[in-house]
Structure 1
Amino acid sequence: MKRIGFSILAFLVLVGIVLTGCSSSGASGGSASSGGSGSSGKAQEMTFAQTSKVVGLSPTMTNDSVSQNVLNQIYETLFTRDPETMEIKPNLAKSYETPDDKTWVIHLNKGIKFSDGTPLNAEAVKYTFDKLRDPKTGAPRASLLSAVDSITTQDDLTVVIKTKKPYGPMLAALSHGNSAIISPTADKKQDLMKKPVGSGPFMLKEWVPGDHVTLVKNPDYWKGPAKLDKVTFKVVPDVNTEISMLQTGQVDFIENVPSEQWDRVQNLKGIKTTKKAGTAVSYLGFNLRREPMNNLEFRKAISYAIDRDAYVKQLNGLGTKSNSIIGPKIFGYDKSAESLGYDYDPEKAKQIIKENGWDGKQIDLLVANTAAYMQMGQIVQDQLKKVGINAKIRTMEWGTFLDVSKQDKFDMTFLGWSNSTADGSELLYPNLGGDNIGASNVVAFNNKKFNTLVDESRYTVDQDVRKEKLKKANELAIKQAPWVVMDHGVVTGAYKDDIEGIDILPTGDWFLYNVSRK
């Protein structure tokens, strides 16, 4: 039997906004109550502001970063990433073994309970994963466990996962927020999208859809109660309002500061900022179900028409230009990919458009009403107009956009992928793999050779083989251009200077368990 130490996790899986929507009425999480206080005797509270609303509170049924901000505080995964090294380490899991290259034996920590008082045991893990990968569930990130053949319980604290083939990204998949463990008891009697029950340090007190979500600390959390007593996730109209509220003290923490506002935020009195290279990628995607988006020459023309260097320059250091779909912070990145792709050449774009009779072609450009995507939309619309393409921007609210973007209801759209796994296979497979059309593969890219290469990168634990397969798959996708990569992201945050313990990972994830106020 082979035991894998956590000291070599960086070798196993190196250093991860998209899909599904939900609307629901306000709901209570059941047994939540505030209680508790800071060392000063005064309750410690924090308000986080975001311009988009939460679409649901089930890790199984959501897959967007806005909802995930809340879910990260309520639910937990078997494994997690160290915020400094990005190495994967145990969380709910105590340890694991791999007796062969298709078997993962995972031992759980003792005494963990969900906030409804029921035990988090091997049966709960099996229930969660079986539901996630069941086609009847319709989970948007079922692809995380698509390599799994069976899940069994060896005893109350031991889960055995067998894969169809050797699966290299397994630990990365099990550290992803959508693999968080849910309470089987709660899931059978209530809608977790409205009434979440997890094992994390916080639990739901109130959700008023479109306005706010309020969490309070879980007094029975297995690692000990959180320092914060209450956290509110507030929806605000726009970024300017968000920043003004931070300045006046109405909110305490914001993330994803737009580039044009970065200098302003850095100069606010009493505010700290953080910035680091991230794993996220933003892209312009073509709906390959439609003409002429399914024509490579059209995609080349659009790629040639977009001045991405100019776009990234105005991001003021909050994004990096790259031709590679797999970014520099992702396992599988190879610098040689930067020489590929279709760089800015408006004359070549005009030539292709004229030769194919696309001059004056009107395109439906679907854009979510977030600051970053609206900025991309306006810039690209102007650049396409200069080469003879009329892109008509159609905007919609975030939750509605998530629904529409999964369907054949657009020509081109802007999307992002935060890549919470920081693994190239788990970037390419969900977003461009043929198995995931209609779910996370919103552009409907389906290339047999690409699919084979990505599968070969997934179904091996040999990391050198994985890198080579990912290199080839990435190169193929770059040449086929289902995406125009707009930039690879930089994660940012701004918060009141009396807040301690906030650490945003390169994946964009953050956790509030260790956060406190002076």
Structure 2
Amino acid sequence: MRKAHYWKILLLVVISAVLVVGCSSKESSGERKAGSKTESKEMVIAVNENFISMDPHNTGDTNSNSVQSAMLEGLLGFDQDGKIIKKLAEDYSVSDNALEYTFKLRQGVKFHDGEAFNAEAVKANYERIMKDDSLRLNSRGFSLITKIDVINDYELKITLKEPYPSMLTRFVSAKILSPKLLKEGNNNIAKKPVGTGPFKFVEWVQGDHLTVERFADYWDKKDRVQKITYKPVPENGSRTAMLKTGEAHVIYPLPSQNIKELESNKDIKVEKIPSTIARYVSINTMKKPFDDPRVRQAMNYAVDKNAFINVVNGGFGLPLDSIIPSKTLHYVKQEVYEQNIEKAKQLLKEAGLEKGFKAEIWGNTNSDTMKGMQFIQQQLKAIGIDVEIKSMEEGTLSDEIYGAQKPEDTKLQMWYVSWSAYPSDTTNATRPLFYGGSFPPNGANTAYYKNEQVDKWIEEVGKTADPAKQAEIYSNIQSTIYKDTPWIFLGVDEILAGKRTNVEGVVIEPGGGIDVTNANLK
């Protein structure tokens, strides 16, 4: 009796264990059965760089912006073609003199912490940006705001002291945070954002992952994946392996050298997207010997732009033939600095540097950046410039570049980097990068480029609403800066991304952002 009873118990234990293992296997696959319908649970997105900050008012990198856009929204947004659409505003109007912006807000919207979204919440966010000149958005339109009038709970009017052509795009960038979070201070905002987006913040383990989960009370009711985990994976081979095994559902960027093997995989789809991403080397024009334009021109003539596209970008892209990519409004093609070693050496000789010199280039640790810096190192060696590569983790690099309060304090000589702007936003593609008032930490003018005439043009174009006049000024800006060579002009990307075939609703934008508003697994 006791022996038979023992075997019955043992049999029950074995059956239970099998059932538990079976359930665990099904759950670990990322799906579960709900009736006859398969409900998607978790999506993994692998990107090439770490995230720096979750503060939408003080962000300069695309990866951080992408994650923020899952959780946070502005009054306006962009569609897949870069055109402005309504988000938290259900309607808006702009006065004829381009000084007054009136918004009617979406009603019934909640923040992730339960706070109500209304005009006062918008005002609190915008006043935060206006009053804190350390925030990046302050110098991008918000410092021009003179008054915010709350008309009622769901309507407000914003007045500028002078026209700002890209102000509508700034209302896209200025994501709205919970008023309760704003009271907690900048540190909490940067680490634990609270917004109104389709997903809400769960956790951020620096360097490993950042997780968001579906917000049940989101105003736009659609079927979405329950959870998204973003993983920074700088090494190209590791990112590719994750996509092949299904450990990642989306990878961006997809390494160009792996495109053929991935295209032949029936479980993977490869996407190629024309971009507004410019790749370049920023040259500190205030440091010797880079303060001599002949030296900077020599560096441009030393670099084979087509070889850069082929070697570093796997043949995907075009030479950067202006200070802005060709898909940007008001773009004007310039005469490319075709590789000419003899001309480059002659320019160095004229600058008194016939024997060359030593220099340092900075960049982050991802595989593509390392390959790009090694390419620049090899190319400049041909004209006697001995380049030392210094790679840093993204957050450290950002602190080094944007931490210096004065131009003379920075150790930066050259930075291998990229920049993207919305196709319709020529202001953001020029002013932060080339205006004399946009030196770090107030802007991204890491070349410390200053040309009095260019500064006047940038100020002038911001005060006119005439498209023809804008086009004329931007043409002058492009030709002047391209000749001044504050950068080594490299290329414009064709974006490559990889997705598992069961992925829906994940959009890779021309600027390199990842939109997961309607993300799902079928």
> So what's the TM-score if we normalise by structure 1?
0.88
5+ residue gaps, structure 1: 1-33
Cα deviation, 1:437-467, whole Å, max 9, x if unaligned, reads: 0132111111111111112222222222212
Amino acid at match of 2:398: L
Partner SS for 1:171? helix
Mean Cα deviation higher: 491-500 or 399-408:
399-408
Partner SS for 1:352? helix
Match of 1:105? 102
Alpha-carbon shift at residue 510 of structure 1 (Å): 2.5
Equivalent positions of 1:115-126 (< 5 A) are: 115-126=112-123
Does 1:253 find its partner at 2:247?
Answer: no
Distance 1:372 1:459, change over 3 A: farther
Alpha-carbon shift at residue 378 of structure 1 (Å): 0.7
Match of 2:382? 386
Partner SS for 1:325? coil
CA contact (8 A) 1:422 1:507 kept: no
Does 1:497 find its partner at 2:476?
Answer: no
CA contact (8 A) 2:503 2:521 kept: yes
Amino acid at match of 1:354: K
CA contact (8 A) 1:258 1:371 kept: no
Match of 1:415? 417
Match of 2:453? 449
Does 1:427 find its partner at 2:425?
Answer: no
Does 1:211 find its partner at 2:215?
Answer: no
Distance 1:428 1:317, change over 3 A: same
Give me the whole-angstrom Cα distance separating, in 2, the residues matched to 1:170 and 1:60: 14
Amino acid at match of 1:188: K
Does 1:370 find its partner at 2:335?
Answer: no
Amino acid at match of 2:468: D
Alpha-carbon shift at residue 399 of structure 1 (Å): 1.3
Partner SS for 1:427? helix
The structure with more helix, counted as a fraction of residues: 2
Give me the whole-angstrom Cα distance separating, in 1, the residues matched to 2:145 and 2:491: 33
Give me the whole-angstrom Cα distance separating, in 1, the residues matched to 2:436 and 2:496: 33
**Please, which of 453, 457, 461 is the counterpart of residue 465 of structure 2?**
461
Partner SS for 1:52? coil
Match of 1:323? 321
Distance 1:288 1:74, change over 3 A: same
Q: Which has the larger radius of gyration?
A: 2
CA contact (8 A) 1:425 1:470 kept: no
Cα deviation, 1:444-496, whole Å, max 9, x if unaligned, reads: 11111111111222222222221211111111110111112211122221111
Cα deviation, 1:147-169, whole Å, max 9, x if unaligned, reads: 43332322211221212222221
Alpha-carbon shift at residue 63 of structure 1 (Å): 1.8
Match of 1:349? 344
Amino acid at match of 1:260: Q
Give me the whole-angstrom Cα distance separating, in 2, the residues matched to 1:153 and 1:123: 7
CA contact (8 A) 1:326 1:332 kept: no
CA contact (8 A) 1:123 1:153 kept: yes
Cα deviation, 1:99-128, whole Å, max 9, x if unaligned, reads: 332111111111111111112211211221
Alpha-carbon shift at residue 77 of structure 1 (Å): 1.3
CA contact (8 A) 2:328 2:422 kept: no
Amino acid at match of 1:92: L
Distance 1:283 1:147, change over 3 A: farther
**Please, which of 130, 134, 142 is the counterpart of residue 133 of structure 1?**
130
Give me the whole-angstrom Cα distance separating, in 1, the residues matched to 2:339 and 2:31: 58
Distance 1:244 1:36, change over 3 A: closer
CA contact (8 A) 2:63 2:513 kept: no
Match of 2:273? 276
Match of 1:201? 198
Amino acid at match of 1:411: Q
Mean Cα deviation higher: 387-396 or 49-58:
49-58
Amino acid at match of 1:236: V
CA contact (8 A) 1:37 1:229 kept: no
Alpha-carbon shift at residue 276 of structure 1 (Å): 1.4
Give me the whole-angstrom Cα distance separating, in 1, the residues matched to 2:189 and 2:236: 30
CA contact (8 A) 1:332 1:424 kept: yes
Partner SS for 1:338? coil
Match of 2:306? 309
Alpha-carbon shift at residue 189 of structure 1 (Å): 2.4
Match of 2:159? 162
Give me the whole-angstrom Cα distance separating, in 1, the residues matched to 2:423 and 2:140: 10
Partner SS for 1:437? coil
Mean Cα deviation higher: 351-360 or 432-441:
351-360
Amino acid at match of 1:367: G
Match of 2:7? none
CA contact (8 A) 1:206 1:215 kept: yes
Match of 1:11? none
Give me the whole-angstrom Cα distance separating, in 1, the residues matched to 2:131 and 2:295: 38
Mean Cα deviation higher: 403-412 or 190-199:
403-412
CA contact (8 A) 1:203 1:217 kept: yes
CA contact (8 A) 2:120 2:153 kept: yes
Alpha-carbon shift at residue 228 of structure 1 (Å): 0.6
Give me the whole-angstrom Cα distance separating, in 1, the residues matched to 2:277 and 2:424: 9
CA contact (8 A) 2:420 2:512 kept: yes
Alpha-carbon shift at residue 237 of structure 1 (Å): 5.0
Alpha-carbon shift at residue 64 of structure 1 (Å): 0.9
CA contact (8 A) 2:309 2:319 kept: yes
Amino acid at match of 1:453: W
Match of 1:48? 45
Mean Cα deviation higher: 487-496 or 193-202:
487-496
Match of 2:20? none
CA contact (8 A) 1:173 1:421 kept: no
Alpha-carbon shift at residue 317 of structure 1 (Å): 4.1
Q: For this pair of structures, how many residues does the alignment match?
A: 478
**Please, which of 296, 305, 308 is the counterpart of residue 293 of structure 2?**
296
Amino acid at match of 1:273: V
Give me the whole-angstrom Cα distance separating, in 2, the residues matched to 1:159 and 1:504: 33
**Please, which of 466, 481, 488 is the counterpart of residue 484 of structure 1?**
488
Alpha-carbon shift at residue 356 of structure 1 (Å): 2.5
Equivalent positions of 1:399-410 (< 5 A) are: 399-406=395-402, 407=404, 408-410=410-412
The share of aligned pairs that are identical, in percent, is 29
Cα deviation, 1:5-38, whole Å, max 9, x if unaligned, reads: xxxxxxxxxxxxxxxxxxxxxxxxxxxxx99997
Match of 1:224? 221
Cα deviation, 1:408-456, whole Å, max 9, x if unaligned, reads: 1221111111214641111110111111101321111111111111122
**Please, which of 82, 90, 96 is the counterpart of residue 94 of structure 1?**
90
Match of 1:234? 231
